[in-house]
Amino acid sequence: MDIVSLLSATATVASTGFITVSLRQHSRNTRTLRLLHSQRISANSHIQKTRMDLMETRNRARLLEETVKNGTSAVEKVHKAITTTTFSLIDRFSTNEEFRENARRARETHDQTSDQIYRSVHTTNKALHILADTLFFGKKEKQLAARKKPKDEQ
C-alpha cells in the first residue's frame, strides 16, 4: 500500500467518524428540540386554559350581576303595581276623607322608602360587581401578565 492510499483511507475513516459524531449530535439536538417544543406547547396550553377559566369566571360574574339586576327590577315593578293598585282602590272606595288622607301620606312614605331600598339594592349589586372585578379579576390578570420566567432565564 502506498502513502496516497493510506492517507486516503485515513481521511475516509476520519470523515466517517466525523459524520457519525455529527449524526449523533443531530439526533440529540432533534430530541432536545422536540422536548422543548412539547414543553412550550404545554406551557402555552396551561396559559390558555388559565385565560379561558378567567374568562368563564368573568362571564359568570356578569351573568350573576345581570340576573340580580333584572330580578330586582322585576320585583320592583310587581311591587309598584301591587301598591299602586292597593292605594288606588283605597282612594277610590274610601268614604272617609281623613282615612283617604292618611292613605295618601302612607303611600308617599311607602313609595319613598321602597325607592330608596331598590336604589340601594341596585347600587350594592353594582358595587359588589366592581369590587369582585377589582380584587379577583385584576389580581388574576396581573398574575397572567407577569408570569414568572423559568429559573434558567432569570
User: Residue 62 corresponds to which amino acid?
Assistant: R
Phi, psi of 14 (to 5 degrees): -65, -45
The larger pLDDT score, comparing residue 101 to residue 150, is at 101
Residue 57 clears pLDDT 90, i.e. is over it:
no
Cell 299602586: give the residue.
84
For the chain, domain boundaries? 3-145
Q: Output the CA torsion sign for 15, 16, 20, 26.
A: positive
Q: pLDDT tier at 37 (50, 70, 90 boundaries)?
A: very high
Q: pLDDT tier at 142 (50, 70, 90 boundaries)?
A: confident
